[in-house]
Amino acid sequence: MSTTTDQPRIALVTGGSGGIGRAVVKRLAADGYAVAVHYSGNKDRAEETVGEVTEAGGRAIAVGGDIADENAMAAAFDATENAFGGLDVVVNTAGTMLLSPIATLDLADLDRMHRTNIRGTFVVSQLAANRVRTGGAIINLSTSVTRTQLPSYGAYVASKAAVEGISLILARELRGRDITVNAVAPGPTATPLFLEGKSEELIDQLASMNPMNRLGAPEDTAETVAFLAGPARWVNGQTIFTNGGMA
């Protein structure tokens, strides 16, 4: 692993108060990272996650802010650097998913989702490009549905395809900085965001789409993120599909 110092690495995880983000926080903390747990609306949940990390002997703080507000997120980056002395890894798990056929999608929902998923990713990536230290990593979350083309996911997939484009181009723009940029594209994962509004029949159907015959767990994605955050220095400008083999 290439780093500028022998000090413990420092990570900021957006959306770190729940779902995949929470699993990423706990995994990175277990790997020895000091972690800033970002939240947008659920401060109590973020503080609970911080408490779990510190009780286990790790270091963590909670930082808040609207993911798409560049000033709020700059303050979150500032708070992370002030607390821990720098920043090595940024993991952007914050996002929203609103499903509808394209023909009937409420355009207000389109705007809301794209503000979080596209503008939010751009804001975080832009700040990370200017703040992450040499030897660091930037990791954004996409979705495996970008290649499965499931009905009703059109607007969501459009936003996540943008996430992949931002990530892969930023990797090339950071030439010479020794900073990797990758996207992780989970398959169906048992999080509140994913399970909301779905019938048991649909959940079972989605679970059967991979040869492992189960939904992913948040910890499955956290495993991939931890790999990209640390030892995977030769994986750069890629989208990693973490989905159990879903076709």
Q: DSSP code of 116?
A: I
Ordered strands of the 180-186 beta sheet = 59-64, 34-39, 10-14, 89-92, 137-141, 180-186, 239-242
Which residue bears the tokens 């019938």? 199
Contact 50, 37 (CB under 8 A): yes
Known catalytic membership, residue 33: no
What is the DSSP annotation of 150-184?
-TT-HHHHHHHHHHHHHHHHHHHHTTTS--EEEEE
Which residues are CB-contacts of 234 (< 8 A; sequence separation ≥ 6)?
Answer: none
Tally of CB atoms within 10 A around 246: 20
Phi (first) and psi of residue 187, to 5 degrees: -85, -165
Question: Residues 33, 39, 153, 156: which is the catalytic one?
Answer: 156
Q: DSSP code of 117?
A: I
Which residue bears the tokens 């083999």? 245
Active-site residues, by number, are 156
